[in-house]
Structure 1
Amino acid sequence: MSGKVKARAAANAEAMSGAVPVTERILRDCHSLYSEPDTGLVALASHLQLSLLPPRKKITVMLMGNHSAGKSSFINWYIEEHIQRTGVAIETQGFTFITSGRKRESLTGDATLHLYPHFKPLQSFQGVSEYLCTEISTSRQKKFSLVTFVDTPGLVDGDMKYPFDVDRAILWLGELCDLVLVFFDPMGQALCKRTLNIVEKINEHHGDKLHFYLSKADEAGGESDRQRVLMQIVQELCKRPGLNKCGFDMPTIYIPNPNKPSRCVNQIEEACKTIEKTITQTVQTTLNTLGRDCQKLTESVEAALLEDNEKVRGNRRSRVRGCLFGLGGFLLPLFLFASALFGSTSPELWNALLGEAAAETLGMYLSPLSTLWSLLPGDCLGYVFLALLVLSALLLLLARSCFRTRETLSKKQRRYLQERQEYVREVVGHKKKQLYEDYLKQSVGEHDMS
């Protein structure tokens, strides 16, 4: 058994034994905290009319460049499996996602978009779905368990016709991917204008994602030939606005071949380190985002409960006002009618009906209005009673308007929000702190952690 085969067997055996790397476990646990159907943060956010996206469990690395630049060969070398076709022809005509899984499998376009829902907008690109697929490998080499590679079509100038808008599709993927590796080969198409145009556009907003490599460096001839090719590529790149930045770097890489030794310096491990660095940054970003989302949800729950309390108080005030206006609508006309009736009938009748003491008390309260009624001409009383009816109707309408209340949370809904708020504060907050400690323990000693 060769050394490479032994190394791969050891890596896969470690994966089968359940020894999950810390970074992989952290990203998986963070994703779980968001995506649990009932207790996840996404479910709580949806209840609060907020939108949260669960973090991805892997980073996405897009490889682009002219045809035969070595993109597929690099993927095969990284995962140590011949999963992508290679050759001098334009083999990669569509987009291929390469990811790790439980068994070797190939997925079509629809299955790919189901596996990667955040890439579903690719359906709007005419013709892309038919040229979209996923290759699942069981390899656990290097950091492949935390990486999804996106192999893009080889780019050429001239009259080459693609079955879809390849420039627009690559630009859209460049927005979404975490890392973009641009391969320039030293033969023929190194200065492909289509590649340079796309790189320039990606650089406008995501220059930090771009990393350039001179691939197949061992085929460039001697050292002087390699330097000349590098100079040509760098000069062409630096002509583009935004790409002529300080600290520009382009490592020379090639796929090691023990049967074909080369004296060329191979910096292919620099690409691996770039991928590992992106994974590290993604873990930190995911944990920081988890903390911010927890705070956002906690504050939103608090605001929802306070708003509901204010609605309850407002509804109580509305009911009181409604009762007052309602009583006024019923009692005021009756009171005025009673005062008119009291002034127009003999006291003996009221004494007989209510008793002398009650009639005297009623007369004391109604006497001002009774006097007012006695001063009015007889032909005005009809209009007054009509006005009383209108006033009564207005008061009743006001009562109905005041009785309109705002919808409030039920006891069950309030209890749900309070329980979720406590869960986010205590359980998720503690889990986030524990995950951060596990992550930092990889780099610093326990005595350095407070």
Structure 2
Amino acid sequence: MSGLLKHRPSSNSSENLRLSVNENILRECHLLYTDSSQGLVGIAKQLGLRLLAPRKKITVMLMGNHSAGKSSFINWYIEEHIQKTGVATETQGFTFVTSGKKRESLLGNATLHVYPQFQGLEKIEDTPGLVDGDMSYEFDVDKALIWLGEQADLILVFFDPMGQALCKRTLDVVEKINETHGEKLRFYLSKADEAGHESDRQRVMMQIVQELCKRPGLNKCGFDMPTIYIPDPNKPAPCMNRIQEVCTTIEKTINKTVQNTLNQLGKDCELIINTAECKLRESSEQASRNRRAWIKYMFFSALVYLAPLSLLTYFIISETSRENLADIIGDDAAKILLIWAWCVSTIWNWLTGGSYLLATIMMIGFMFVSMLLAKCCNCTKLTLSRKERKQLRAKCNYVQHVVVERKERLYEMYLQQCISEQEIC
């Protein structure tokens, strides 16, 4: 197995190029969401929406019973011995291996290793080895594992064949994670080179699979648990080593994350555009309703003063001779006012029969009803101002003509590097 080629950033230039493209796509998508001036998160917040910015890289979590080879795998993957390994329970806290300048910081029950850049991965999380019995931790390890599993993009579960693979605590945590995030779980029989003959390995795998299938939700068709071990060029290969598939699974998760991020970017852009257009349309429709309501309000408000003004006009005209009225406002206007006065007098007498008390009551009632109708029609609602409409249209155009086009270009970049990869293969 000395010639085993790991699919990692350090493998070859084509892999470096592919992962660099994926990483750049994720970084640009993240910037489109978090930009301080025109980020999608800020635009969505102004529209009453809540968007989450995508991650720039993925997180991989390793879990399993103690001495399952989690720390050994990390050492092999990053080609440096940073994790203690052994038969004893070496890892009782959490270890986070992330990219950056090489240094180490201790954070209580967690250790942080900042490792030189490995593309596509934000961090690898090494979790405490789980055991049954009286083993105690300084924290609730089960809840911590379930919470970290919810945040991770990929969960690698290692079972070793040396007697602890059926650890009830491990199976309980796996079952809990599987209830909500089963698509993240991948199972491996680690340290397969220490399992003896092929028949022994098959027997161990059957025991593990049977125990997993007893758990609700884990009884799945096509269940796969590859055998893996750390290759040693000085030892003969006792069985097929599929540790390469672990690296391939990580790469596939990165690719899937890129696809999901681009798809989600398209959906979020569509949501923002539709919401903005809906708000503009609703504001325009509400402005039309406000204008109609204002016209009705003004009409009924005018009716409040129509009756007293009509009566006042009638009394003034009845006390003024036609000649004086014509001298004051002219013959034509005088004729119109006289006709108006005759109409008011006829209606007044027809309604009241000459009773001033009844006329007064009817006039007050008419004014009161007109006031109520005017008040009912005065139900305008706030709409977007001209400045707000202009800003909203500008943001909508930005998302539609800048972000969406940028998303299309990023998708083309992703497809081009996939085609290049196939040509290389």
Classify the TM-score, shorter chain.
0.7 to 0.9
User: Which residue is 2:396 aligned to?
Assistant: 421
Deviation string 1:113-156 (CA, Å, 9 cap, x unpaired) is xxxxxxxxxxxxxxxxx64454321143xxx5434222222211
Give the aligned residue type for 1:68: S
- Residue 343 of structure 1 contacts residue 373 of structure 1 at CA under 8 Å; is this kept in 2? no
Mapped partners of 1:350, 1:370: distance in 2:
18
Q: Secondary structure of 1:148's match?
A: strand
State whether structure 2 residue 21 is matched by structure 1 residue 46.
no
Give the aligned residue type for 1:135: H
Q: How much does 1:182 deviate? A: 0.7
Shift of the 389–168 alpha-carbon distance from structure 1 to 2, 3 Å rule, reads same
Mapped partners of 1:62, 1:210: distance in 2:
10
User: Which residue is 1:112 aligned to?
Assistant: none
User: Which residue is 1:203 aligned to?
Assistant: 178
Mapped partners of 2:333, 2:117: distance in 1:
100
What are the residue-to-residue correspondences of 1:272-351 with 2, within 5 Å?
272-339=247-314, 342=317
User: Which residue is 1:136 aligned to?
Assistant: 114
User: Which residue is 1:104 aligned to?
Assistant: 103
TM-score by length of 2: 0.85
Q: How much does 1:356 deviate? A: 6.2
Q: How much does 1:183 deviate? A: 0.6
What are the residue-to-residue correspondences of 1:244-283 with 2, within 5 Å?
244-258=219-233, 262-283=237-258
Mapped partners of 1:154, 1:253: distance in 2:
18
Q: Secondary structure of 1:194's match?
A: helix
User: Which residue is 2:63 aligned to?
Assistant: 64
Mapped partners of 1:385, 1:337: distance in 2:
13
User: Which residue is 1:227 aligned to?
Assistant: 202
Q: Secondary structure of 1:444's match?
A: helix
What are the residue-to-residue correspondences of 1:20-31 with 2, within 5 Å?
21-31=20-30
Q: How much does 1:369 deviate? A: 3.0
Q: How much does 1:222 deviate? A: 3.3
Q: Structure 1: 5+ residue runs without aligned partners?
A: 109-129
Shift of the 13–231 alpha-carbon distance from structure 1 to 2, 3 Å rule, reads closer
Q: How much does 1:242 deviate? A: 3.3
Mapped partners of 2:12, 2:104: distance in 1:
20
User: Which residue is 1:127 aligned to?
Assistant: none
Q: How much does 1:180 deviate? A: 1.4
Shift of the 383–135 alpha-carbon distance from structure 1 to 2, 3 Å rule, reads farther
- Residue 120 of structure 2 contacts residue 254 of structure 2 at CA under 8 Å; is this kept in 1? no
Give the aligned residue type for 1:245: K
- Residue 310 of structure 2 contacts residue 344 of structure 2 at CA under 8 Å; is this kept in 1? no
Give the aligned residue type for 1:237: L
- Residue 348 of structure 2 contacts residue 359 of structure 2 at CA under 8 Å; is this kept in 1? no
Shift of the 56–357 alpha-carbon distance from structure 1 to 2, 3 Å rule, reads closer
User: Which residue is 2:146 aligned to?
Assistant: 171
Q: How much does 1:357 deviate? A: 5.4
User: Which residue is 1:431 aligned to?
Assistant: 406
State whether structure 2 residue 213 is matched by structure 1 residue 238.
yes
Q: How much does 1:187 deviate? A: 1.8
Give the aligned residue type for 1:153: P
Q: How much does 1:26 deviate? A: 0.9
- Residue 340 of structure 1 contacts residue 369 of structure 1 at CA under 8 Å; is this kept in 2? no
Q: How much does 1:224 deviate? A: 3.2
Deviation string 1:2-40 (CA, Å, 9 cap, x unpaired) is x99xx99x94998xx999711111111111111111111
Give the aligned residue type for 2:264: T
Shift of the 205–372 alpha-carbon distance from structure 1 to 2, 3 Å rule, reads closer
- Residue 193 of structure 2 contacts residue 229 of structure 2 at CA under 8 Å; is this kept in 1? yes
Mapped partners of 2:80, 2:370: distance in 1:
84
What are the residue-to-residue correspondences of 1:78-93 with 2, within 5 Å?
78-93=77-92
Deviation string 1:400-444 (CA, Å, 9 cap, x unpaired) is 553443222223222222222222222222211211111111232
Aligned residues: 415
* Range moving further from structure 2, 425-434 or 235-244: 235-244
Give the aligned residue type for 1:275: I
Q: Structure 2: 5+ residue runs without aligned partners?
A: none
User: Which residue is 2:367 aligned to?
Assistant: 392
Q: Secondary structure of 2:418's match?
A: coil
Deviation string 1:248-271 (CA, Å, 9 cap, x unpaired) is 221111223445555343221111
Mapped partners of 1:70, 1:77: distance in 2:
10
Shift of the 412–183 alpha-carbon distance from structure 1 to 2, 3 Å rule, reads same
Two-structure CA RMSD over aligned residues (Å): 3.4
Mapped partners of 1:246, 1:146: distance in 2:
30
Shift of the 255–377 alpha-carbon distance from structure 1 to 2, 3 Å rule, reads same
Q: How much does 1:285 deviate? A: 1.3
Q: Secondary structure of 2:208's match?
A: helix
Mapped partners of 1:98, 1:384: distance in 2:
93
Shift of the 402–372 alpha-carbon distance from structure 1 to 2, 3 Å rule, reads closer
Mapped partners of 1:13, 1:101: distance in 2:
21
Mapped partners of 2:328, 2:403: distance in 1:
75
User: Which residue is 2:156 aligned to?
Assistant: 181
Shift of the 88–25 alpha-carbon distance from structure 1 to 2, 3 Å rule, reads same
- Residue 104 of structure 1 contacts residue 138 of structure 1 at CA under 8 Å; is this kept in 2? no
Q: Secondary structure of 1:21's match?
A: helix
